Structure 1
Amino acid sequence: MESTVVVTRTRVIHPVHAAVLGGVFPLFLGALLADYAYWSTYEIQWSNFAAWLLVGAMVMTTLALLAGIVGLVRGSRQLPYVIVLVVTWLVGFFDSLHHARDAWAIMPGALVMTVIATLLAFVATWIGFSTLRAGDVR
């Protein structure tokens, strides 16, 4: 009697990729909360906080996007994840440009773009952690 061994290859997320992806959503959420605080108080420092949190979110999104592209090149099937990250990066980039304006001129556009970027970051994080597995964990 012969026995055959079936080897299933799981898509493994690299720990650095997971750490970077885990930092994307909280930074966009922090920028959203700072934008909301600025919208409700018009204290200019909240606008500065939001701009710096967006810079951090863009750095993390860029690193996660690079890791996702490397994963695509290596043969994993994570195209929807990479597409959502690209859209998140684009919205975050234009949101950062909008935040570079005068603090009095950024509302309400900055708040709307930050809400969209935060929702996209949430979707990207959800897709990334639900489809990419670490080892045999299900």
Structure 2
Amino acid sequence: MASSAIRPPVWSIHPLHAAVLGGVLPLFLGALLADYAYWSTYEIQWSNFASWLLIGAMVMATLALLCAVVGLARGRRRLGYLLVLVATWIVGFINALHHARDAWAIMPTALLLSAVATVLALVAAWIGFASLRVGGVR
């Protein structure tokens, strides 16, 4: 007699979603490091680097957010993951608006916002990639 165990649904991630989500964390981390470099040296070019990295992070976060909404609509994503991505996007957007100010006026708030956005991006990547299974079913 064959027994069938009830398994919870498998939350898989689409390869495009994984590629976009994989780009969010390094860009936010780069913006954080550029903000730290500007805070340490007050070389204005570091502020410009951080602004450009934030724009790239926001593009990737927007695409990841769209993929998460589609995944949630198809029943393949969890709501908590979507909420963390929304929080990452909101903090990143506020940070990008803050970086639009004069370079001398953005510190120390820009550094704090970059740190919060990086931590949220790390949590989103952790939740998003936690669904990947290697070596069979667990």
The two structures have a TM-score, normalised by structure 1, of 0.90
Where does residue 102 of structure 1 map in the other structure? 102
Residues 24, 76 of structure 1: alpha-carbon distance in 2 compared, 3 angstrom cutoff: same
Unaligned runs of 5+ residues in structure 2 are none
Aligned AA (1:79): L
1:78 matched to 2:86: no
In the alignment, the residues of structure 2 paired with residue 109 and residue 45 of structure 1 have an alpha-carbon distance, to the nearest angstrom, of 18
In the alignment, the residues of structure 2 paired with residue 5 and residue 84 of structure 1 have an alpha-carbon distance, to the nearest angstrom, of 35
Residues 134, 59 of structure 1: alpha-carbon distance in 2 compared, 3 angstrom cutoff: farther
Aligned AA (1:72): L
Where does residue 16 of structure 2 map in the other structure? 16
In the alignment, the residues of structure 2 paired with residue 45 and residue 18 of structure 1 have an alpha-carbon distance, to the nearest angstrom, of 31
Where does residue 133 of structure 1 map in the other structure? 132
Question: 1:74, CA displacement in angstroms?
Answer: 0.1
Structure 1 residue matching 2:117: 3-state secondary structure: helix
In the alignment, the residues of structure 2 paired with residue 94 and residue 109 of structure 1 have an alpha-carbon distance, to the nearest angstrom, of 11
Aligned AA (2:41): T
Q: CA offsets, 1:76-112, max 9 Å, x none?
A: 2411110000000000000000000010110011001
Aligned AA (1:30): G
In the alignment, the residues of structure 2 paired with residue 125 and residue 46 of structure 1 have an alpha-carbon distance, to the nearest angstrom, of 26
**Aligned residues between the structures:** 136
Unaligned runs of 5+ residues in structure 1 are none
In the alignment, the residues of structure 1 paired with residue 86 and residue 133 of structure 2 have an alpha-carbon distance, to the nearest angstrom, of 23
Structure 1 residue matching 2:55: 3-state secondary structure: helix
Aligned AA (1:56): G
CA RMSD of aligned residues (A): 1.8
In the alignment, the residues of structure 1 paired with residue 64 and residue 115 of structure 2 have an alpha-carbon distance, to the nearest angstrom, of 20
Question: 1:12, CA displacement in angstroms?
Answer: 1.9
Percent identity over the alignment is 67
In the alignment, the residues of structure 2 paired with residue 107 and residue 27 of structure 1 have an alpha-carbon distance, to the nearest angstrom, of 19
In the alignment, the residues of structure 1 paired with residue 16 and residue 6 of structure 2 have an alpha-carbon distance, to the nearest angstrom, of 26
Where does residue 59 of structure 2 map in the other structure? 59
- Are the counterparts in 2 of residues 10 and 133 from structure 1 also a CA contact under 8 Å? no
In the alignment, the residues of structure 2 paired with residue 22 and residue 15 of structure 1 have an alpha-carbon distance, to the nearest angstrom, of 10
- Are the counterparts in 2 of residues 11 and 134 from structure 1 also a CA contact under 8 Å? no
Where does residue 27 of structure 1 map in the other structure? 27
